[in-house]
Chain A
Amino acid sequence: MEAGRSPNIEILSNADFLGLDGKAGDFTAKVRLRPRYIDADKCTACGLCTKYCPRHLVDEYNEGLALTRPIHIDYPQAVPATYFIDPDACMHLQHGTCKICVPVCRSKAIDFDQKAETRQINVGAVIMSPGFGRVPEEALTKYSYGDHPDVVTSLEFERLLNPSGPFMGEVRCISDKRHPKNIAFIQCVGSRDLGCNNGYCSSVCCMYAIKEAMVAKEHDPDCEITVYYMDMRTQGKDFDAARTRAEEQFGIKFVRAKVADVMPWERQLKLTYATMDGKHHFEGYDMVVLSVGLDSPADAKNLAKTGAFDLNHYDFCKTSTFAPLASSHDGVLVAGAFQGPKDIPESVTQSSAAAGLVSGLIKKQRGKGVVTKTYPDEQAVAEDDEVRIGVFVCHCGINIAGVVDVAKVANYAGEMEDVTYYAESLYSCSQDAQEVLKQRIKEHRLNRVVIAACSPRTHEPLFQETLKDAGLNRSLFEMVNIRDHCSWVHANEPAAATDKSMDLVRMGVAKARNIKPLPEQTVPVTTKALVLGGGIAGMTAALNMADQGFQTYIVEKNGQLGGQLLKQHYTLQGDKVADLVKDVTGKIKKNKLIEVFTDADLSAVNGFVGNFTSTITVGKKETSVDHGIIVVATGGKYHQPETVLGAKLPDSKAIVTQNELEKQLAGKGKTRAPKSAVMIQCAGSRGDDLAYCSKTCCNDAVKNALKIKEINSASQVVVLYREMRTYGYAEDAYREAREKGVIFIPYAKDQMPKIDKKGAKAEVSFHDPILLEDVTIAPDQVILSVGIVPEDTEDISKLLKIPINADRFFLEAHVKLRPVEMPVAGVYVCGLAHAPKPLDEIIVQAQAAAAKAAIPLVKGYVSVEPTVSNVDKDACIGCGLCESLCPYKAIQIHKIDKKRKAETIVASCKGCGICASHCPTFAISMGGFTDEQITAQIKAFGEMREE
């Protein structure tokens, strides 16, 4: 992970957060560092110590399904990549014996004299992200967990699926190692369960169960998988599509039922469950997976006390709808599952948002604490300079040397033309090896470096850094992966693996002869922002940009700011929306850094990241503005469906939408609450007009149902639903509504209710799956929970060349890890334009977009990776194929001397090579992967070795 390499992140692992004094902007935190008993600077993570350690220890990382030793590392890619000793299990630390590891360690890294250390650290702000805890044992034991080894938690099952897991990625029963032929998933274990005081929905289990079930099916297509659920809560963006795929493509069965118990039954497990109609059923399974929820962290109470902030009634950090990441302690923010159960993309979004909020909070201190690394001047390498290649072949402990004859490979490299220096290295990635590498480059005046070791994905940046330290351009480097490609995949054929290593090194050297230094480019940035859309997403993003010190333009097409918020009155949590609108619009008005254009249209956008020039049109007046980034917050609106429940909607005044009902209920009329109401969920969504789930309609229905009951407790409210998706804490409100007498009746997709017009009223007929009867009601009002559609995304998609998905929402750069960024550099997205979501999630996403968007503005420049495309203007015929294919808007056709020529916008180029591979005249070359270099490599592959 990147965090391990940043000079500005100090990882204090094996550490406890013990105290926090002072106030926002000037805190003193107390942290205790527990000893690892291993010197991190010396440990090379070779793993020899674990091999020799005589004692077994249950491996927590593998969910207790495997064994490790007291001296170990959880997984090879761990950061920091330093082994540690578990003091509770180590024989020396417990009984003063053993110490076998000390002489075994070749780098003398083991140090039993290490002591715990306490540090006082001065910081401006604190972000709490301790994650989640485990659900109580009693939620598991009622399903025979612990009594029978083949009842596993979903986390344990995750480890079983993992190639680095206990059975190397094979799914086997723990009891007798057989492959299970049928598996049951039980949902809501430790969630929506008052029995263990977890009344909330954990929000993630439905989706991960589907994922695990699909992966298990990929491992063994013959395995039958059934998921037992109450409601499948796949409310996230494109989640429903995954569920449909699981059902239709993978043949996974979904059964709506409550599981009563799981009992050992001969070689199997007997699962007893009750379906909606009240009938009981039994089924035998080889394996039962409990989809466990996310609990608050075990030490939540302690953390809250230490950090002096409040917890909510479920022991998660207490926050509010309008400030979802602010704890009750000023300057202490929260992000991730500790704020409330959530999935990875939402955690990542919250983290960026929290970082942005902190950045606004302590902006005066920005840049004061950071370390900037300096490098020596780069040595010039000219075209006709003598090529002097240095080849370093890595043992990687026994990882490579255990299979490949490293000495033979190194000596072979030494005989090659232009190779001035060659050497073997025990661990070429270790700290001391970097020093050696630097010295050798200088001593032997090397101007190309080839390292035959592991994967460039993980280690290339490290070696390139060393090259820079030695004054060499980082592009003068080639990495040969003889670990993954040779010693790992051919572990049982050492001779062949050695031969292949030699071939690969020969090819690497051939390429190295042709590599040239590539310039390190930076492009300056206009430190201003443009936010498109003045709804809550746009306003929040703009305020945060301004808080961070950047001038911001808001372009709103309507006459006033507020967007959809102006149509809303109260939230499920009881907050008044008008308060929020007043607060935010007031702050914007007062903020001198924000300029608002209303009734405005973004009519043209030119330029690229850091250097956009846009035209804002208000009436007939055009204003041209320069800005470095764009935040797209164009929002959405309620869908007015034509098709509801598979039929055309009758025209009746008795039929209203949830939003219309909300307005009516927020009024003052005495009879504003209908005496009888039928609410219809998914009206126009999930298969009618819209294919997707809008995530917010279930909450809105519960909100309004409760409001009706609050105004007139005698009112009768029936909610017809497919699945109640009141995820997270909204489950509390759902429960409250049922307690207050709101009747919730599910309907199936193949047995939809019908709406007919009957005089002034509307009549709803449906099948009641509990009574097993068809029912017809003619209530005062029929309320449709309609979905949300994005606004004008097609036009903006064309204007900015950013992609939209099948449902016309903008498609982010990476669903999981870059949820607010667009593939086009410098363009960010948030709010309903991204996907339907409730208010608190919109606010967080807007804060996250502002944080990400501020990054290039804070730096003041955009750095360009050396691997970008380069157009040979003489060869270019200006056909424009490259421009039409580039997914990043990074290559454009310009007129140069009246001829059309392609030009790369280096700041936007990602170096994917699509343009180069399609150019009909071979006019485009990719830095670091030129035709010349690749041809040389292929030729070298064909050269025979002399034995």
Chain B
Amino acid sequence: MAQAKNKGAGAVMVVGGGVAGVQAALDLTELGYYVYLVEKSAAIGGAMAQLDKTFPTNDCSL
């Protein structure tokens, strides 16, 4: 995954890899930008990854 190349101003940094950060990152790539997703813990997902089911669809949160 590691890519040393610098993507310049066409890139965006997203600080925080919870559901908000991941969604922002996904949308940014679809809109034509390269994303650096910075997460302080070892994996992305944030608090949502700890949830069991979510209202109202009872979907699994992962």
**Which A residues are within 8 Å of any B CB, using their own CB?**
1-4, 6, 8-17, 25-27, 29, 31, 36, 40, 61, 63, 73-75, 77-80, 82, 84, 121-132, 155, 158-159, 161-163, 165, 169, 207-208, 210-211, 215, 238, 242, 303, 307, 335-338, 344, 347-348, 350-352, 354-356, 358-359, 362, 365-371, 548, 814-816, 851-852, 854-855, 858-859
Contact = CB atoms under 8 A, between A and B. Distances in A.
A351 B54 contact: no
Given A307-B15, A337-B20, 11 more contacts: A6-B26, A11-B1, A13-B17, A73-B43, A129-B16, A161-B53, A162-B51, A348-B20, A351-B22, A365-B8, A370-B29
B27 A851 contact: yes
Contacts of A359: 28, 31-33
B1 A130 contact: no
Interface string B1-36: 111001111111111111111111111111111111
Nearest to B49: A75
B55 to A, nearest CB: 5
Contacts of A548: 31
B27 to A, nearest CB: 4
Of B37, B46, B57, chain A has the most CB atoms within 10 Å of the CB of: B37
B56 A11 contact: no
Of B30, B49, B57, chain A has the most CB atoms within 10 Å of the CB of: B30
Nearest to A245: B56
A74 B43 contact: yes
Given A344-B48, A348-B20, A348-B23, A127 B12 contact: yes
Nearest to B34: A369
Contacts of B3: 10, 371
Contact of B57 (A159, A338, A815): A815
A204 to B, nearest CB: 10
Contacts of A15: 38-40
Nearest to A24: B9
Contacts of B57: 814-816
A852 B27 contact: yes
Nearest to B21: A129
Contacts of B49: 74-75, 78
The 5 lowest CB-CB distance pairs between A and B, nearest first, are A336-B20, A369-B10, A369-B7, A369-B34, A368-B10
A34 to B, nearest CB: 9
Nearest to A336: B20
A355 B7 contact: no
| Secondary structure of the B contact surface, majority rule | mixed
Contacts, number: 275
B21 to A, nearest CB: 4
Contacts of B21: 127, 129, 335-336, 351
A370 B32 contact: yes
Contacts of A161: 52-53
A162 B52 contact: yes
A654 to B, nearest CB: 41
Contacts of A123: 7, 9, 11-13, 36
30 contacts: A3-B25, A10-B2, A10-B3, A15-B39, A61-B50, A79-B44, A80-B43, A122-B7, A126-B12, A126-B15, A127-B12, A127-B14, A127-B15, A128-B16, A129-B24, A155-B50, A159-B50, A215-B53, A307-B15, A335-B24, A344-B48, A355-B28, A358-B31, A366-B31, A368-B8, A368-B10, A548-B31, A814-B57, A851-B27, A859-B30
A640 to B, nearest CB: 30
Contact of A335 (B20, B48, B56): B20
A12 B38 contact: yes
Contacts of B27: 351-352, 355-356, 851-852, 855
Given A11-B44, A13-B39, A358 B12 contact: yes
A9 B16 contact: no
A815 to B, nearest CB: 6
Contacts of A155: 47, 50
Nearest to B54: A816
Nearest to B40: A16
Contacts of A159: 50, 52
Contacts of B17: 3, 11, 13
Given A15-B40, A127-B24, A211 B55 contact: yes
Contacts of A369: 7-11, 33-34
A131 B41 contact: no
A219 to B, nearest CB: 10
A801 B2 CA distance: 45
Of B2, B15, B22, B29, chain A has the most CB atoms within 10 Å of the CB of: B15
Contacts of B18: 129-131, 336-337, 347
Contacts of A365: 8-10, 33
A351 B50 CA distance: 20
A31 to B, nearest CB: 6
B6 to A, nearest CB: 5
Contacts of A370: 7, 10, 29, 32-34
A484 to B, nearest CB: 13
Contacts of A859: 30
A132 to B, nearest CB: 7
Nearest to B42: A84
A40 B1 CA distance: 9
B22 A3 contact: yes
B15 A78 contact: no
Contacts of B28: 355, 358-359
Nearest to B52: A162
Contact of B37 (A3, A77, A336, A344): A3
Contacts of B15: 17, 126-130, 303, 307
A354 B24 contact: yes
B36 A12 contact: yes
Contacts of A854: 31
A10 B42 contact: no
Nearest to A38: B42
Contacts of A238: 56
A868 to B, nearest CB: 21
Contacts of A9: 25-26, 29, 34-35, 37
Given A74-B49, A336-B18, A124 B10 contact: yes
B50 A355 contact: no
B13 A127 contact: yes
Contacts of B36: 10, 12, 29, 31, 121, 123
Nearest to B43: A78
